[in-house]
Amino acid sequence: MIIDFEQLSELERYKTMSNTIFPRPIAWISTEDEGVINLAPFSYFAPLSSKPALVIVSIAHKEDGEPKDTFANIMKHKKCTINLAHKELLADLKNSAEELPKERSECEEFGIETRRVLEEYPPMVSHAKCALFCKLYKSVDIGNSYEPLILEIKGLYIDDDAIGERGHIKLENIGRVGMEFLTDATRSR
């Protein structure tokens, strides 16, 4: 079967892409503005380059066309922390996907603990085993409801238990497969 993307709606393209390009890691992004910590998951996320150390995350606008809080906070402050979630954090990750008013923190709303590891970056999820501390490198206007952000990794937190004898990193991050999440070798809704 050949699918002509020119004949698909945006929703049909999304469904096709999200069910074929997988598993995709989840960028569980924490940002901060006026003392409010925003935490939201994004599955259009991938490494882009190692020199410089870049990742890309694509953030859609809200249904009313306004930018999501994560996007607005990154554009305003030029910094974010990308938490990589493992299966024990799946319920918190799902809860944080709920859209709240800008002045309400997902962390406070759902009891998600955070801690500040690097003073100049938003706090990370306390129980995450890995976090990337990033600065905005560039935004890419692609002329639709998504606006990809290229972020430069300036620092990385890794849990000591995730580092093996030879310095190999072993993480069991949650991935996205269509509407499901991939944890280890099993899928979870």
Closest CA to 48 of 143, 138, 169: 138
Per-residue pLDDT tens over the stretch 55-64? 999 998 888 8
List domains and CATH numbers for the chain: 26-173 (2.30.110.10)
pTM of the model: 0.85
Closest CA to 59 of 36, 37, 82, 85: 82
Per-residue pLDDT tens over the stretch 67-119? 999 999 999 999 999 999 988 999 999 999 999 999 999 999 999 999 999 99
Burial class (CB in 10 A: 0-12, 13-18, 19+), 14: middle
Mean pLDDT on 19-25: 69
Between residues 71 and 179, the one the model is more confident about: 71
